[in-house]
Structure 1
């Protein structure tokens, strides 16, 4: 048997394992629970726990953990051994249904946005049976949701699961109206493309900024960057290939459908992409992927950087969230078919997405908001901060014809030609791709391109699911009350196109003309995180989440405060790291270089009084002046940080202060320091420069 296929899913308590180890009745009850989103029977839980324990022990596991995703954006786990004592001083392995279904980690030290006080420590984790348990190292990991003692969601997964239930309810209403009686459930499916950088570990450890913040806070541009586009899809370096090979193997063991890998645009940048799976499992798998990337990289003497902008002057890293809607019968509801203009069901679901993205463009933007991602959005390497939808020429023409009440003149399928007779001819795709669009239709799904590399995909999928559920709910209400289904359907599609066509844009999202045009259309241009976060608590958004039971008002405000607090703390850490590096490493290095130059001038003139020392004297004069300027920059940044402490009672005000005062002061300090770096003797510069970091992997 092929090694790749034989290892796939070997560390996962998946459907095949459950079918083998559970009784037929228990297996069927569990599958029904998963498929129909039903509550788990305690008897079934005990049987599953016993089988899961035996399987895990055979795989060498000694502990189990409820694996969850708190508001930190990464995962958390508390390990408990399977050991249970007997009266005669021996032990036996035990694992009960109650331990499988519910855990109780301390909730006091996770971000809660005021939902919990420090002394209110109790929190609960609850098994998500729709996401398979897996073994990581010697620990059985059980994917779970995380909530407080009083029931509020303290994690990113619970709202995602709620949103999946919301879109399932509303989509089934629509399908029933179209006569589909076979579909029992509807799920959103996701395939997240993950970009990342790899740098040499030894060089990484010499850069305090990379260690503490994940990005370079100082660094002059090297002679070469990405200008030649020679890294994109280029030959993968041997050391990187070995890393990718091990990463694939570990992901396959965990049932992650790792499919594509390649070099990205920037030097030292790469991408990994999986095959689609359901949104909650895709979220789990993406968290595992990021964790394994960082762990496995170290085994190869590398460090994986997931920051959105680790290096100035070259592309940053994003994450493309490919999103679609499918039934349990395998039908993709965003598949247009050969004649999309005749596919009324497809057109209605397409319109539901268009309406949702226009109505809730603020929420879509919030899903990509972070201090790191602010560095790349709209920087000619990522979509702009303006949310818009790309449909391509064919679909755009179909919608225009519907809006005008005209017949659509079907396009004949073109044949792709390149002018070389030996190459085969094949049908041309109906639409091109638009890499500048934040939300692009790519044949049978939408690709959301705004996410940052380190982001959890739970938030964007929760936002999309809920917003589309609302569109479908409004459509279902109108169609269920209608005496003429076809006429009402046509009216809904036509009205959606007329009212929401402003969100549709097929052109260059990087152009200044689009920014002006978007303003005329009334689209939001929320450039930074403090700009967009206040929209989280708008009344229409609170009503949306509460109506579909995805988030309560209390949970919304908690997330708003956590995101603001994280933004300010991120910039504070970066600013403190900058001043520390500047005072303890950079200025002493610059001063030492000036002293060496001065000693050289003295020695030359002592040996040859008429010696030409203009080079050294000019450098001494210039660097000394810049050092004085840099010292002033450090003082200004320290003053800005000190004043930031005074306004911490108001999270939004603090975040705006960091954006308007602290961040510009950081930029000024960097400009001066990088200018000096370009004049320095390499042996005196205390850190590996950009050239070594970006091109140092052999």
Structure 2
């Protein structure tokens, strides 16, 4: 193993930089060239067919068979002209990644290349091995993928990729996209009816998303010399280097050469695929970086984020690098998040979370702003559950990510606005040529974008014209938290609309009715608002007083999905049935168990087969040295003390690994999935992981560097 480490280190000196040239100095010349989107359809479809397709996409309507045939034929011709030989239904099962099954355009029986509308609209991949949470038996193999025309087809390599949903033979959803699409429809309906209280011209509201993606980049050979990174995505052992991120010199620093080449190439490939990546920079931790796109409709943005991670992984391989998206690949350093910047946009072009200089328009802004805060307060535990994963548990609250306590940060200016609105009991509505509100709030007409600071410790922060859901994990699929967020906002907007109409039915003037409901929401949701340091112990205590839960582990967090409140929420808005919601919770609990199992096995293997033998061999060297010193009459107390220390750590490791194995055997007999997940959390992860790691990391400081088998943090993070 030590030999593998030094072979990997030797390869570093031989790494040539891969020269990358932008095909054109104008990104606009290549942007979307591998996308079969609206403009490509306009150019390749008959005008009547294009009109049908574009209207169906805009209004979320079904596309008839004849139109689907025309689209399929045109898409095939477009793709084949670019060298495509196959097509695939690209979907997102409940595995955390994407899936695809490639079929050739070539029909051997007919002797021609063809692609029918029926093949575009629906395919039947083998669904038996995808997690279903008990919806189906493993011997039942049939499942269907169905075309999502709202997300454009794209050419990836030589394959025409068609974004699709994935459902079981009996119709239950088995993916992350289908519930997301339903949640987006729900928030569109709810938000539109609220908007029409202000402007009857608004017919649709679209949720937008800009996910900032953090990631680490390490040398490929060094990565491959770390079995824990290969198998678990994170380093289960590794002593902190003398220099980590404490100097803060990596943040926004000059981008290292090989990484810069990698960034340039993956950006080019992303642009060709229509992914609007724009920002790149060094993050806080050494070897950590970030890429951020422009905002897009949530469904498309999520598809693009999933595709972008795949592109980054493939391009990194070409540069002999490895891109890591795990939430906590290196202990003691900042973890990896995926900050979800979310807002709602009307079809008239109004960002509903953007305050303006107009008091009249700001009532619409305040309606959505306050109602969203109320939604987070009502469903804080569900929002926490939506970002619960085994990997994210390592990150949340670790002094670079938000805590597990859900709260909303709005800044001092908006706090003053809401406080003032709450206090004003007699709000006058004055009418004239320009109807406006007299709230006694001088600040409202003067609200400007980014008028407040940002709070990096807040899980859900208002940042001027959007909310930033900062707690989402770096490797997670945005669809899950976005489904939850849009669902809870849809629910609260529905409540708001009904409450306002009740006030109006009682004879209240409409704008005053709106203000009355908003004032009530401000009072009821005050507990969720927090402007201070989310890392402080004072906040933990204060949150408890406010009735906010601090749910630190995934098995306990996921309980929020199966409460009657959550089950009814998803079913009411047609997002998921009770059965589907319960199945997803089961899937995520099983995923948690399997990931902890894998990490436990990796720890056991590395500790017993690599660390302990290395430590014993080095201990034997020290014993020989001690005996030699003793024979010469030289004091050998220091050597003997080191031998004893090594022996003690070896014993801790051996006992810990053996006990952990026995505990796994016991826990695996537990039939209830939730109880088994809790046991893996409490009786494996919490009880043994840190203790075994601490002993191994102590040995790293004692054993000769030439003998140590694992690539060290200083090598992984600083050598490129």
Q: TM-score, normalised by structure 2?
A: 0.92
Match of 1:569 among 584, 590, 594: 594
Asked if the contact 1:340–1:347 (Cα under 8 Å) also holds between the matched residues in 2, the reply is no
**What is the distance in 1 between the residues matched to 2:455 and 2:690?**
32
The reply to whether residue 258 of structure 1 matches residue 277 of structure 2 is yes
Tell me which residue corresponds to 1:67: 90
Change (3 A) 1:187 1:589: same
Q: Per-residue displacement from partner, 1:32-84 (whole Å, max 9, x unpaired)?
A: 11111111122111111110000000011100000000000100000000011
The reply to whether residue 461 of structure 1 matches residue 461 of structure 2 is no
Q: Per-residue displacement from partner, 1:253-297 (whole Å, max 9, x unpaired)?
A: 100000111111111111111000000001100101111121111
Higher alpha-carbon deviation: 26-35 or 482-491:
482-491
Asked if the contact 1:231–1:267 (Cα under 8 Å) also holds between the matched residues in 2, the reply is yes
Match of 1:270 among 289, 296, 300: 289
Higher alpha-carbon deviation: 49-58 or 661-670:
661-670
Q: Number of paired residues?
A: 678
Q: CA deviation at 1:535?
A: 1.3
Q: CA deviation at 1:621?
A: 2.4
Structure 1 segment 236-251 matched on structure 2, within 5 A: 236-251=255-270
Tell me which residue corresponds to 1:213: 232
Q: CA deviation at 1:487?
A: 2.4
**RMSD across aligned C-alpha pairs, in angstroms?**
1.6
Q: Per-residue displacement from partner, 1:173-210 (whole Å, max 9, x unpaired)?
A: 112221332x3321100000001111111111111111
Change (3 A) 1:165 1:341: same
The reply to whether residue 202 of structure 1 matches residue 225 of structure 2 is no
Tell me which residue corresponds to 1:170: 190
Tell me which residue corresponds to 2:429: none
Asked if the contact 1:65–1:139 (Cα under 8 Å) also holds between the matched residues in 2, the reply is yes
**What is the distance in 1 between the residues matched to 2:218 and 2:131?**
31
Q: Per-residue displacement from partner, 1:519-567 (whole Å, max 9, x unpaired)?
A: 1111121111112111111111111111100010000100111111111
Tell me which residue corresponds to 1:111: 131
**What is the distance in 1 between the residues matched to 2:175 and 2:600?**
28
Tell me which residue corresponds to 1:407: 440
**What is the distance in 2 between the residues matched to 1:650 and 1:52?**
48
Structure 1 segment 403-442 matched on structure 2, within 5 A: 403-405=422-424, 407-410=440-443, 429-442=450-463
Task: Provide the secondary structure at the position in 2 that maps to 1:678.
Answer: helix
Asked if the contact 2:450–2:463 (Cα under 8 Å) also holds between the matched residues in 1, the reply is no
Asked if the contact 2:262–2:316 (Cα under 8 Å) also holds between the matched residues in 1, the reply is yes
Tell me which residue corresponds to 1:130: 150
Match of 1:622 among 633, 641, 645: 645
**What is the distance in 1 between the residues matched to 2:171 and 2:346?**
30
Tell me which residue corresponds to 2:14: none
Unaligned runs of 5+ in 2: 1-23, 425-438
Task: Provide the secondary structure at the position in 2 that maps to 1:233.
Answer: coil
Tell me which residue corresponds to 2:467: 446
Tell me which residue corresponds to 1:351: 370
Tell me which residue corresponds to 2:393: 374
Change (3 A) 1:523 1:5: same
Q: CA deviation at 1:305?
A: 1.0
Q: CA deviation at 1:339?
A: 4.5
Match of 1:643 among 654, 657, 666: 666
Task: Provide the secondary structure at the position in 2 that maps to 1:568.
Answer: helix
Q: Per-residue displacement from partner, 1:202-251 (whole Å, max 9, x unpaired)?
A: 11111111110000111111111111111111110001100100110010
Asked if the contact 1:341–1:347 (Cα under 8 Å) also holds between the matched residues in 2, the reply is no
The reply to whether residue 120 of structure 1 matches residue 153 of structure 2 is no
Q: TM-score, normalised by structure 1?
A: 0.95
**What is the distance in 2 between the residues matched to 1:71 and 1:122?**
16
Match of 2:112 among 78, 85, 92: 92
The reply to whether residue 691 of structure 1 matches residue 714 of structure 2 is yes
Q: Per-residue displacement from partner, 1:339-389 (whole Å, max 9, x unpaired)?
A: 568621111111221111111111110111011111111111111111111
